[in-house]
Structure 1
Amino acid sequence: MKSVTRSLRILEAVAQHQPVTVGELTKMFGLPKSTVQRTLVTLNEAGWLRANRKDTTRWEIGARVLAVRPAALQGSSLFAAAREPMIRLRDTLNETIHLSVPDALQSMVVVDRVDCTHAVRTFHAIGDTSPLHATATGRAILAHLPKADIDELVEHGLERFGDSTPTDDGQLRADLARVRADGYSVNRKQYRPDVCAVAAPILDEDGTPLATVAASMPESRYDEQRVPELGRLIADAAKEIAARRNGA
């Protein structure tokens, strides 16, 4: 295995099995322990890997890995198309606006953010990830994926993050049906305590969900009666972003 290829494969293995030990990686690849250790140290020095805080003998992916995809997207047509509508949406709502993309069925990744002016506001760093089933952004994507993808997600289990997190098949599918009917998704403390959000999907010309635009806010500013209005404004912004991306 050439050194670059070996490093990439070890990086992929850590991402899949993290937190993982040198010994476990040695068995996976059949390489000398010293070779694996040296590769891990090199990737750590470059910011791609880090030692687990609770157990420093185990390795996990570092912040640079999470930053790669957002950085790559900054020159993309999606990123360029979304920026102005996001700013206008922030100015209208005065809430934090996020642009997120799916990482297969693994997570949603925040790739851009426009902050509101409130002293108390939600915060998601660029590169932050969140589960699809427990968030407005994730369910906005899931609602437009094939049934086989939703089946696969359910089979892997739906982790509970709060009392209202959808953790069973029927609950999730009912929510996704509402998202398709309404054109937007709502999250009220289903992932993070005291954080609410409304999100809408950005669809490709063939209906494939590419990304989401969302407004997030502390629960103290969440108004159930305003949700339909917020949903319409956010869905309109998502449609504008899609049209701008497609050159319409």
Structure 2
Amino acid sequence: MARDLKQPPAYAIASVDHALRLATMLQLEGALTVAEAAQRLGIARSTAHRMLQMLVYRDFAVQDAGRAYYAGPVLELAAHSRSHTAQLRSLALPHLRRLVDVVQESANLTIRTGDTARFIASVECDQALRVGSREGMVFPAHHTSGGLLLLAQLPDAELEEVYAPERYAESTEARPDLAALRTELAQIQRQGFALNQGRSERGVVAIGVPIRDGDGALVAGLSVSMPSVRFDEQRLPALIALLRAAGAALESDLRS
């Protein structure tokens, strides 16, 4: 449904976007220095310093004696899960960067929480027309390639629980048709990849493959995303092969 699609605002405010991305980095990754924040956002150190100080003022961040910044009280609710997510993200980033170098499209790593999918790592390509960073963004799980991959491994009973009608009683989001979703998830499980054409954002195509940890549990979805005008179905097998190679390398790191 249209309300589930995410569209960049017509009048985006770069400084607000940068501040929100900084808050997300602190919550998901832990410590950040001014230099690291400036490098990640592509802004001047003085600008990064002012933004971090404002986050401190509003309790989104705290600063230690070594002048590093951490998630503040406002962001502490997710602190218990940050270490695992941060480790997964840290291991994935080199593989994402290498994948972007090869395919020349943006790459992402996604995890699932309930019926939502969160992008915990994102690397943009250098093309002028590209899909921007999704890091920290949350979408309905059944609207993203990574979310679909993670839903596909759930037994029927657990899928029913994730999409229990009472969860949507007071929600503005529409509950998906579970019969249709099961059919789609069964196909994704058989083929081992997910293709998302404009479901999370109009004009964007994403292809994803599953990522398993050392115990064989499905923990994330690895995907590449591109403007739909650049998607060619004939290129799909090659993209899937590259994704699977990057995924296998990441899984090797997770096992070790």
> Shorter-chain TM-score: which interval?
0.5 to 0.7
Counterpart for residue 94 of structure 1: 104
- Counterpart CA distance in 1 for 2:193 and 2:77 is 26
User: Which portions of structure 1, spanning 4 or more consecutive aligned residues, are displaced by more than 4 angstroms?
Assistant: 62-75, 157-160
CA distance in 2, matches of 1:193, 1:99: 20
Number of the residue aligned with 1:46: 59
1:115-168: CA deviations, max 9, x gaps?
A: 1011111123421111111111100111122322212233346946xxxxx932
Q: 1:202 is paired with a residue of what secondary structure?
A: strand
Whole-angstrom distance in 2 between the partners of 1:125 and 1:69: 23
Superposed, 1:43-192 pairs within 5 Å as 45-47=58-60, 64=75, 72=83, 75-76=86-87, 78-103=88-113, 105-156=114-165, 159=173, 167-192=176-201
| Counterparts of 1:134 and 1:63, CA distance in 2 | 28
Superposed CA offset, 1:91-119 (max 9, x none) = 1110000112222x141111111110111
Paired residues of 2:145 and 2:221 also in contact (CA < 8 A): no
Q: List alignment gaps of at least 5 residues for structure 1.
A: 1-43, 49-61, 161-165
Q: Say if 2:220 is the partner of 1:207.
A: no
Residue aligned with 2:162, SS: helix
SS at 1:176 equivalent: helix
Q: Distance in 1 between matches of 2:137 and 2:158?
A: 23
User: Using the alignment, how far apart are the partners of 2:179 and 2:209 within structure 1?
Assistant: 22
Distance 1:102 1:140, change over 3 A: same
- Shift in Å, 1:72: 4.3
Partner of 2:249: 240
Structure 2: gaps spanning 5 or more residues:
1-56, 62-72
Match of 1:54 in 2: none
Is the counterpart of residue 217 in structure 1 residue 201 in structure 2?
no
The answer (yes or no) to whether the contact 1:108–1:131 under 8 Å persists in 2 is yes
The structure-2 alpha-carbon separation of the partners of 1:208 and 1:71, relative to structure 1 and needing over 3 Å to count, comes to: closer
Amino acid of the residue matched to residue 111 of structure 1? I
Contact 2:214 2:254 in 1 (8 A): no
Q: Which amino acid aligns with 1:79?
A: R
Equivalent pair of 1:183/1:235 in contact (CA under 8 Å) = no
One-letter amino acid of the structure 2 residue matched with residue 195 of structure 1: V
**In 2, distance between residues paired with 1:114 and 1:69?**
25
What is the aligned-residue identity percentage?
28
Would the alpha carbon gap of residues 179 and 246 (structure 1) be closer, same or farther in structure 2, given more than 3 Å must change? same
Q: Which amino acid aligns with 1:93?
A: V
Deviations 1:59-96 (A, max 9, x none): xxx994799689645741x2232122211111111000
Q: Would you say the 8 A contact 1:70–1:127 is kept in 2?
A: no
TM-score, normalised via structure 2 length: 0.63
Q: Is the 8 A contact 2:108 2:134 kept in 1?
A: no
Q: Is the 8 A contact 2:108 2:122 kept in 1?
A: yes
**Which is greater in Rg?**
1
Q: Shift in Å at residue 225 of structure 1?
A: 2.1
> What is residue 196 of structure 1 aligned with on the other side?
205
Q: Is the 8 A contact 1:144 1:207 kept in 2?
A: no
3-state SS of 1:199 partner: strand
Instruction: Please give the alpha-carbon distance, in whole angstroms, between the structure 1 residues aligned to 2:237 and 2:183.
Output: 18
Over the residues paired in the alignment, what is the CA RMSD in angstroms?
Answer: 3.0
Amino acid at match of 2:146: T
